[in-house]
Structure 1
Amino acid sequence: MINIEKLNSLKGGFIYLSRMIDYPTQEVLEPKFLDEFKRDYPETPYKEELIEIISAMQVYSLEDIKTHYVSLFELNNRYTLYMTYYKMTDSRERGQVLAKLKMLYEMFGVQIEGTELSDYLPLMLEFLTYSDWKDDYRQQDLKLLFSVIEDGTFNLLEKSQEQSDDLYFRTIGIVRSELRSCVEQPDIKQSDMTKTGGE
């Protein structure tokens, strides 16, 4: 079950995470971006690490960081920010999930502009920032989005272990952790626990 109160507390932070992993722009490399991040990003266990990552990104020129980004995500079949691709590639099932995500966005007042598919991770994070689900009785339908991100980031980070220190993969790991902090695990009943001892 999604803890909506916790998710809402992170709402303003998702747009920063989205911009950090999207195709690089000069905006992310400006001192103003870091200043606004420090001011607006919620106080979570990962804020300081994110500040370090932004500071490290800002050492590079826009051209250098674009070249690195393209080499990771656009010229490399190993890594992608399209979250359903790993599990479903281009199957019919993937098409159905993409359509469901698009309907989910529209249900909460967001329409996709441009050509990105609905499972593009930066787009999904933007949706969490701009959508209006706080008081909606259908808010638990967000489980679909959480499930897609959980699966996609798991597979992406598994494939990228040898480059786990890369700024982009570190950021994606934090995205995963921040979202997981919003999911409540059901209580385990005593009767469900494996009994040990002499029986």
Structure 2
Amino acid sequence: MMRVHRDPFEPIMVVLEADSPLSEYRKITDEILRRMPDEDRYPRAAAEAVRSFLLLRLGLHLGLRQKNLRQLRVCPRGHFPTLERRLEDMKCGELRWSDRDSGWEVLIPSVAFKNSGSSFFGQKPFRLILPDLLDLYKYLEAYIDRHRGVLLGPVDDPGTLFVKTVKATSKQAAYGSTTFYEAWRTVIRKRCSVATLFRLA
């Protein structure tokens, strides 16, 4: 029986085949904001839209593999960040507020990466202060403070930045590799289709 392997580029082919992939991503995030549901009337839909927006924005800023982005943990502002040694043990990174840099920092130990032995890391962690461009911090903080809790509902918090929408048929909030892949593909396909319709109208 022949095995059919999943093409890792399939979810973003519509973007990669565009004349300017970065501009295409920008169109998608702009479209998400334009069609943002009213948070007071539709809290879950608004939370899902902000999650989609951040999924693409952080994906662009960080350039991480799916696994590293999916397992990225979050430390709310004002809380004590996870010790680097603990992150090394868990082999995952964390988004936390940096008082020193007055910005949101992503810290990922080198052991969390597939190519951790590369000279690029030099056994040092990946560290990046996210730029507060185009209201990134506004939506990031709204997601951490409000929207993420709406998506979680009453289930246990897995501690990751990105969580699934908990429904009656699914009590697990943490993304798996397949569900994260599907979430990414759905965001791009849905928004690209809408953007195309608007251009043709």
Same fold (TM over 0.5): no
More helix by share: 1
- The structure that has the greater radius of gyration is 1
TM-score (norm 1): 0.28
Structure with the larger RCO, 1 or 2 (CA within 8 Å, 6+ apart)? 1
Higher strand share: 2
